[in-house]
Amino acid sequence: MNTPRSKKLPPRTHLPDELTAEVLSWLPVKSLMRLSSVCKSWNKLITSDQTFIKSHLDRSALRNPQLLLECEDSNHHPHRGFCVTQVSGLAGADPWISLAHNPRHRLREYFDSYDVVGSCNGLICLEVFPYRASVGHGWVHIWNPATGLMSERLVSFCYGRRYFRYKMNFCYDNSTNTYKVVYFRIDKTDRASHVQIFTLGGGSNGWRDIQNFPLLPFSYDDSGVNDGAHLSGTINWMASRRDESAPHYNPETITVEQLVILSLDLGTETYTLLLPPKGLDQVPCVLPRVWVFMDCLCFSHDSNKTHFVIWQMNKFGDAESWVQILKISYQDIPMRRLSPFTHHKECFLHPLSYAYRLFYNGDTLVLAVGRQAILYNRSSNTFEQPTTTNREFCRYKFSWYLALDYVESLVSLY
């Protein structure tokens, strides 16, 4: 009896390691975390190969720019969490991607209170406070929402009634390929500023003093308007030439000539004063904002209480390279809460933090007004607001004015 011949299977082929890494680098973090269990070589590639992690980060940033927003559940106040939304989907009906895990349960006994310091390359820096303590020592933690990894305590800091104010910035120093936390405070005792830096993974267990500010940035508030713009290893704040220990922005007591941009170079740890655009002919009624767009420093401000104006510095450090790229009339914006004539911190129009990706299709700019957001299309001069039909997200209140530029990554510092 004749039996059918079994078909020969083709010989097994193996992709070269370089091609395997190329294919995997285009996948989202969630998929890569699963694939890290396939074999030891893939696990090593995905979790510890710095070349692969950098390649994945670059492609993720180009493919899927996102915003990380803090939110509150209106049904379970004061439950706080985070939501990730894809920038390119904001004009659609359902822009929301997912709610990231609330990090508080990872902080054990220190979970009661925390604030977000900043976002950089997929890492979120948190300042965490002891349970219901208004004065004392807090701790810095680093969290990667995509991988779910949370660091232990990295370094402590002081806060409370002893200081007029304190502020932290989390950023990447490309000159040394390190992540740094910059911490400055103003003591009530000597009314002097103290600036310190902590380098993550730099072999240091604490803060390192650097040169104090030559002049102080304007006082920050919860709106994040003067939190500092990170660009090419520098941090930039709005400041004044006035000799004050704790300057507050008051358009009635300063002049245009006194407005400057204070720039800290993280590599040399030195300061530079940058001049605002020459087209700024009068003091704005609200504090101007410095931010980043297309790898250039930007300056946005109110103009005559009638327009919102954006300037771009095409060559960093060169005051002659400022170019006006946008001017919007307030009358064209269909939002009742927008009021440049009041002093409520949440009613002012400003671009979202780290906005170099926010002209996401070349025409549309994402702007925040307090807890609301609007999309402005430059070509058609039209506005719209992001909406959602997803019931899970309808119950959340989003702090748009505190939105952070975010990208999923495999980056880990611990």
Tell me the DSSP string of 98-135: EEEPPGGGGGGGG-SEEEEEEEETTEEEEEEE-TT-SS
Closest CA to 365 of 357, 335, 60: 357
Q: What is the CATH number of the domain that holds 260?
A: 2.120.10.80
Q: Which of 34-38, 110-114, 241-245, 281-285 has the lowest mean pLDDT?
A: 110-114
Please tell me the total count of domains within the chain. Answer: 1
Task: State how far the Cα of 409 lies from the Cα of 411, in Å rounded to an integer.
Answer: 5
Give the model's pLDDT for residue 95. 47
pLDDT digits (tens, 9 = 90+) for 60-119: 877 766 777 777 666 655 556 666 766 655 655 444 444 454 444 444 444 567 788 888
Say if CB 196 and CB 206 are below 8 A apart.
no
Q: Tell whether 52 is covered by a domain.
A: no
Give the model's pLDDT for residue 399. 72
Give the model's pLDDT for residue 215. 85
Closest CA to 350 of 386, 326, 378: 326
**pLDDT beyond 80 at 407:** yes
Task: State how far the Cα of 144 lies from the Cα of 413, in Å rounded to an integer.
Answer: 10
Closest CA to 229 of 313, 305, 148: 313
Q: Which domain holds residue 99?
A: 64-406
Written as one string, the DSSP assignment of 310-336 is: EEEESSTT-GGGEEEEEEEEGGG---T
Say if CB 235 and CB 182 are below 8 A apart.
yes
Task: State how far the Cα of 197 lies from the Cα of 170, in Å rounded to an integer.
Answer: 10
Task: State how far the Cα of 28 lies from the Cα of 22, in Å rounded to an integer.
Answer: 13
Give the model's pLDDT for residue 110. 40
Q: Tell whether 38 is covered by a domain.
A: no
Give the model's pLDDT for residue 109. 41
Q: Tell whether 225 is covered by a domain.
A: yes
- Quick check: bond before 340 cis, omega within 30? no
Q: Can you tell me the mean pLDDT for 339-351?
A: 48
Written as one string, the DSSP assignment of 10-40 is: PPP----HHHHHHHHTTS-HHHHHHHTTS-H
Closest CA to 147 of 264, 55, 33: 33
Cα 242 to its chain centre, rounded Å, is 29
Say if CB 354 and CB 292 are below 8 A apart.
yes
Indicate the average pLDDT of the chain.
76
Say if CB 170 and CB 118 are below 8 A apart.
yes
Task: State how far the Cα of 222 lies from the Cα of 231, in Å rounded to an integer.
Answer: 22
The pair of three-digit structure tokens given for residue 236, joined into one six-digit string: 């930039």
Q: Which of 3-12, 57-66, 185-194 has the lowest mean pLDDT?
A: 3-12
Task: State how far the Cα of 305 lies from the Cα of 340, in Å rounded to an integer.
Answer: 6
Q: Can you tell me the mean pLDDT for 8-27?
A: 78
The pair of three-digit structure tokens given for residue 372, joined into one six-digit string: 């609301």
Cα 133 to its chain centre, rounded Å, is 27
pLDDT digits (tens, 9 = 90+) for 113-167: 778 888 889 898 988 877 655 567 788 889 888 888 888 888 888 776 555 567 8
Q: What percent of the chain has pLDDT over 90?
A: 20
Q: Which of 160-169, 187-196, 335-344 has the lowest mean pLDDT?
A: 335-344
Give the model's pLDDT for residue 99. 46
* Residues 6+ positions from 88 with CB-CB distance below 8 Å: 65, 360, 361
Written as one string, the DSSP assignment of 329-367 is: EGGG---TT--TTS--TTSS-EEPSSGGG-STTSSEEEE
Q: Tell whether 190 is covered by a domain.
A: yes
pLDDT digits (tens, 9 = 90+) for 260-286: 999 999 999 999 999 999 989 889 888
**pLDDT beyond 50 at 341:** no
Q: Which residues of 67-106 are buried (b: 16+ CB within 10 A; e: fewer)?
A: bbbbbbeeeeeeebbbbbbebbebbeeebbeebbeebbeb
Q: Tell whether 47 is covered by a domain.
A: no
Give the model's pLDDT for residue 88. 59
pLDDT digits (tens, 9 = 90+) for 352-404: 543 333 444 556 777 777 667 777 777 787 887 776 655 655 666 777 777 78
Q: Tell whether 4 is covered by a domain.
A: no
**pLDDT beyond 80 at 287:** yes
Bridge partner list, 297? 292, 313
* Residues 6+ positions from 346 with CB-CB distance below 8 Å: 223, 369, 370, 371, 401
Question: What three-state secondary structure class fits 175?
Answer: coil
Q: Tell whether 16 is covered by a domain.
A: no
More confident residue, 293 or 325: 325
What are the two backbone dihedrals, phi and then psi, of residue 147, each rounded to the nearest 5 degrees?
Answer: -90, -15
Q: Tell whether 226 is covered by a domain.
A: yes
